[in-house]
Structure 1
């Protein structure tokens, strides 16, 4: 809410007309009208009289300052960064206290100022870093109560880091409740917490689960992008994405089958006879590798139900049946290597 809107709101609540308010302040009625329409702002010496007349505090009157743009916040942080170098930690801290008093409701600014002060003391730029604990954490707690989930997460992350450094693991874990159980960031932080507590096996299992889940998400994402690219007849882009998908499967130790699978859709869309034959053959030959990730060192602390794929034979039959009967492979009919392959 800008200052004009604040004046208009509380003027009406106080029962004044614009003319009555103008007379009491010794200004013209058009001046009040311009304030309320946002065409001008009151002179600074009028702020206190306006607040008294409307029976509100200066903080309320100046509530237009509670929200800042990202650009404005960035300017404050740049100024703060420069102050550390030119004036030292303590003077910068005092400037931060005064700035937050001026913008007490801008939680993103409060969090960023707290982070700047926190990080500088961590790297040893102040003589007595512990004396700032209470105030910096109080600022984090303010940001923690913001209505935006993003700012809550930022603040919770900062408090988690603080208590992790202090080896107060119970308090560190408390702030993880602000993250969803489905959020991989929470799992990573749980892994960090377990490491600090000496629960190495639990930590590796939690972190490996993040790696595995990340592949699943990326695989789904790339698959969706490939499908869309093929619908748009953009085969070149689809092929590029399929190659990336193959590399991902290799990096995440998913097995040869997963390295080949994405490209089949591309060659089928292109009706590439030789390419389709090669990809189909590779898939069939590598069905047994679908569970290779279970044997990978990358997931050695995770617990999987099966150590091998008990359905490999059935999957091979299903693949062959699809190659024989699915309409999308009809363009392969008459290609001798294909006919021999699907009828083996």
Structure 2
């Protein structure tokens, strides 16, 4: 980041317009605009006044050592990690401060330093962890302003965990807002927050919702992988994936129908007469379990829509109509067991 970008960043944080900044420094608004867009740099005698106006150090303003390659950051973190195995925590902490002073705007470095020291201070019995609270949390706060979403998320995660441990639930809630609504960890953390506050019913409901949602995601992912294996005629892999789909359905207590439904696509693609008949019978026998998850203890705090009267009967009829008329099952036409199965169904 060049000096113009630093000026823009901290000017906005200070709540100043370019015109206001220009007036306070005794320069023109176009001059400030040129600094921020990299067309020119401020005169050397203006550097100290700019730093004071923006409430930053000259070192931060100049940003001499901001840009670090990921490999350089990794090497510096390895240095600290090695020191932690052989030196007192305080000495490592002082070295970390030196690094951050040298690279004050490298949030990737600051965040990783905070993480490694945070973890070690909590598991080292010889260290008073609270002594370092303020500094480590301030590093997380710096990382929270980074452009990289992953760095912001990790910093928010650490700050949320800190205030949750301290039972400062209001502050923990503040950092929870930094998570995307699409991030499943936001729901997990909200459940933890409810749990710590003693709101057990709300906590259960959140955790159950996470389980149900994640089942849908896992199921879709496995189904698409299975379908790709079928397209590639890799039926061994397709069967393996179909079995895993069934196992996942069983673990998440979705009902017997969900446990065996995916295998139908595999046996149909294989044109496996014996197994097609077997799986078709299993599906028909277990249509009534299609909504068994509604009765599962896993989801007892969740509310589901009522099943429309007659819906399961329609599923059975549609299933049998497909078995009778769908061209995909034409290879079954001469099988006696299949004929008995088709003819034995009574609407």
Q: CA deviation at 1:223?
A: 0.7
Q: CA deviation at 1:137?
A: 1.1
- Contact conserved, 2:273 with 2:331, CA < 8 A, in 1? yes
In 2, the alpha carbon distance for the partners of 1:241 and 1:98 equals 52
In 1, the alpha carbon distance for the partners of 2:170 and 2:157 equals 15
- Contact conserved, 2:60 with 2:105, CA < 8 A, in 1? no
Q: Is residue 90 of structure 2 the alignment partner of residue 85 of structure 1?
A: no
In 1, the alpha carbon distance for the partners of 2:114 and 2:310 equals 55
Deviations 1:172-224 (A, max 9, x none): 01111111222210010011111100001111111111111111100000111
Q: Is residue 214 of structure 2 the alignment partner of residue 214 of structure 1?
A: yes
Any residues of structure 2 matched to 1:30-109 within 5 Å, and which? 63=64, 65-109=65-109
Q: CA deviation at 1:305?
A: 2.6
Q: Is residue 185 of structure 2 the alignment partner of residue 185 of structure 1?
A: yes
In 2, the alpha carbon distance for the partners of 1:241 and 1:145 equals 42
In 1, the alpha carbon distance for the partners of 2:44 and 2:334 equals 92
For residue 116 of structure 2, what is the aligned residue in structure 1?
A: 116
Deviations 1:67-113 (A, max 9, x none): 33333323222221222232211111111111011112221211111
Any residues of structure 2 matched to 1:1-344 within 5 Å, and which? 13=40, 63=64, 65-125=65-125, 127-306=127-306, 310-344=310-344
In 1, the alpha carbon distance for the partners of 2:169 and 2:39 equals 53
Deviates more, 1:230-239 or 1:312-321: 230-239
- Contact conserved, 1:295 with 1:307, CA < 8 A, in 2? no
Q: CA RMSD in A?
A: 2.8
Deviates more, 1:77-86 or 1:259-268: 77-86
* TM superposition score normalised by structure 1: 0.80
Compared CA separation, residues 142 and 150, structure 1 to 2 (3 A):
same
- Contact conserved, 1:245 with 1:259, CA < 8 A, in 2? yes
Q: Secondary structure at the match of 1:181?
A: coil
In 2, the alpha carbon distance for the partners of 1:13 and 1:111 equals 32
- Contact conserved, 1:230 with 1:269, CA < 8 A, in 2? yes
Deviations 1:293-334 (A, max 9, x none): 112122222222338985111100000001111111111111
- Contact conserved, 2:89 with 2:127, CA < 8 A, in 1? no
- Contact conserved, 1:209 with 1:302, CA < 8 A, in 2? yes
Q: CA deviation at 1:261?
A: 0.7
In 2, the alpha carbon distance for the partners of 1:267 and 1:76 equals 55
Q: Secondary structure at the match of 2:291?
A: helix
- Contact conserved, 2:284 with 2:316, CA < 8 A, in 1? yes
In 2, the alpha carbon distance for the partners of 1:206 and 1:84 equals 39
In 2, the alpha carbon distance for the partners of 1:146 and 1:120 equals 24
* TM superposition score normalised by structure 2: 0.80
Compared CA separation, residues 155 and 69, structure 1 to 2 (3 A):
same
In 2, the alpha carbon distance for the partners of 1:239 and 1:316 equals 24
In 2, the alpha carbon distance for the partners of 1:335 and 1:127 equals 76
Compared CA separation, residues 263 and 309, structure 1 to 2 (3 A):
farther
Compared CA separation, residues 295 and 234, structure 1 to 2 (3 A):
same
- Contact conserved, 2:66 with 2:104, CA < 8 A, in 1? yes
In 1, the alpha carbon distance for the partners of 2:319 and 2:81 equals 61
For residue 7 of structure 2, what is the aligned residue in structure 1?
A: none
Compared CA separation, residues 12 and 219, structure 1 to 2 (3 A):
closer
Compared CA separation, residues 90 and 194, structure 1 to 2 (3 A):
same
